[in-house]
Structure 1
């Protein structure tokens, strides 16, 4: 039996465009031009005799035929990719990672060089954002997010549930305070949505809740770290993301009183770990953070 198969490049272009419902995003993923994706998709439509996409004022949308075709083409291309990677002795390919900004800048980026030395044929494409990429729709291979108490995602693994402690630059506070209330003499940096300082003072004791000041500094967490590094206030943050700053002497921990507010998790789509390149990065990430989960690192 002779199989009726369209050109593979046309299928890859359609599959990527269908996942994103965007020719531009598909072009970025495949490393080709927008016009190349459009040309392949239009050629595929001519070959099949159906319209796979509809152009709408808000952008591109899969047609009824396109959605049905994508549902069958995506698993087929995945199966081919998995079978091909299974024959390779070393992992290779591209892994797309979407990460919460603070974890990306302060923990992941400084360690990517070590991963590259282990797996030189694996390319990591990292995007840092507050918006969670949809792993179920394959917008990214892996997504790293901080999950609060009681929160959970399907197909996820805990990276770290390190405790939160107060930190400051030695230029602001040279020696740890003798009592928790001494921190009230300094600006207390606060995330835009977090109420963790009130909880910390409650645990540390010796401070009436009414004494905790209103916060004039409210900023995203990665900017909090930069403010603390420049000596502008005291930071209450989980230990793993400032570990490098502490090791370098740029921040000092001010108290051993700490608590857990949640943890960082890595999320993945159904079946994506069958890809060798994604799997080795996922395994490396969990191995590198094992100490933060077991409480060995303090």
Structure 2
């Protein structure tokens, strides 16, 4: 049976431009020029006799016909990609991971060389952003997000529900002796979450509400973390994100009382999770985080020790 098939390069250009709603970003993904993407897409439109994109003052957007065409060909392109990958004895390809900045910088990066050693033919592109990528529009293959309560309403695996504890740099502890939770009262306190997590922690440690401190110094997550590392105050940090610097002696846990405050999840694109490279990376990350979900998701703000 003869099939009516457009050129594969034209379909790849249309696929990338449609997912990104941008010829420029499609060109970056494909490592070709903007004009090459435009030429392929306009040639495809001429072949089909249908306008797939409309021009905007700042870029392009799919027409209704273009959106329908993209949704119908994506499963076929994914199937071709998956079948091709399955023929290779060595997993290869690219995995784009969108992650919460702190988790990306403090958990994934210190361990990523281990993945690259095991899978040298898989390129990992780590996008550190507080904005959740739309994995179903292929903005990323995987996304890592923090949720304060409950599970996410999208396909996801639990990565870590580890407790949080107060930490400080050795330099800070040289200036301030901390033997009991009470010793932290009055010291500079850093936090990177909207709620006053320090009040919750002191309550779990048995400190009277009348003695609880004010909200503390709130910074965006990476800045709060760096401030703690540089001895500017106590940092309330989740176990998995602090683990590398703790093992290197740059952070010291100040108390064995911890509380739970949400969890990190690995979010999957509907089709991307079938790709061999994505399977390898997600399996690696789940293995790396196994110790941090041993206790289960648990409740919120519950004392640990």
TM range (shorter): over 0.9
- Per-residue displacement from partner, 1:189-234 (whole Å, max 9, x unpaired)? 122513211100111113334531243x221111111001110000
Find the aligned partners of 2:210 and 2:123 in 1 and give their Cα distance. 49
* Corresponding residue of 2:198: 197
Structure 2: any 5+ residue segments left out of the alignment? 297-304
Ranges of 4+ aligned residues in structure 1 off by more than 6 Å: none
* Corresponding residue of 2:79: 79
Please state whether the residue corresponding to 1:225 is helix, strand or coil.
helix
- Per-residue displacement from partner, 1:68-124 (whole Å, max 9, x unpaired)? 111111111111111111111111001111010000001101111100110111010
Establish whether residue 125 from structure 1 lines up as the match of residue 111 from structure 2: no
Structure 1: any 5+ residue segments left out of the alignment? none
Cα displacement (A) at 1:295? 4.6
Aligned length: 296
- Per-residue displacement from partner, 1:155-182 (whole Å, max 9, x unpaired)? 1001111100000011111486222121
* Corresponding residue of 1:292: 292
Please state whether the residue corresponding to 2:293 is helix, strand or coil.
helix
- Higher mean displacement: 176-185 or 26-35: 176-185
* Corresponding residue of 1:142: 142
CA RMSD of aligned residues (A): 1.7
TM-score, structure 1 normalization = 0.95
TM-score, structure 2 normalization = 0.93
Find the aligned partners of 1:62 and 1:27 in 2 and give their Cα distance. 16
- Higher mean displacement: 172-181 or 219-228: 172-181
> Within 5 A, what are the aligned runs for 1:133-282?
133-174=133-174, 177-191=178-192, 193-209=194-210, 211-215=212-216, 217-282=217-282
Find the aligned partners of 1:257 and 1:120 in 2 and give their Cα distance. 41
Change (3 A) 1:236 1:123: same
Find the aligned partners of 1:121 and 1:211 in 2 and give their Cα distance. 53
- Per-residue displacement from partner, 1:128-178 (whole Å, max 9, x unpaired)? 000000112111100011111224132100111110000001111148622
Find the aligned partners of 1:157 and 1:211 in 2 and give their Cα distance. 36
Cα displacement (A) at 1:64? 1.7
Find the aligned partners of 2:10 and 2:133 in 1 and give their Cα distance. 25
Please state whether the residue corresponding to 1:267 is helix, strand or coil.
strand
Please state whether the residue corresponding to 2:32 is helix, strand or coil.
coil
Find the aligned partners of 2:45 and 2:98 in 1 and give their Cα distance. 32
Please state whether the residue corresponding to 2:170 is helix, strand or coil.
coil
Conserved 8 A contact 1:202-1:209: no
Please state whether the residue corresponding to 1:264 is helix, strand or coil.
strand
Please state whether the residue corresponding to 2:51 is helix, strand or coil.
coil
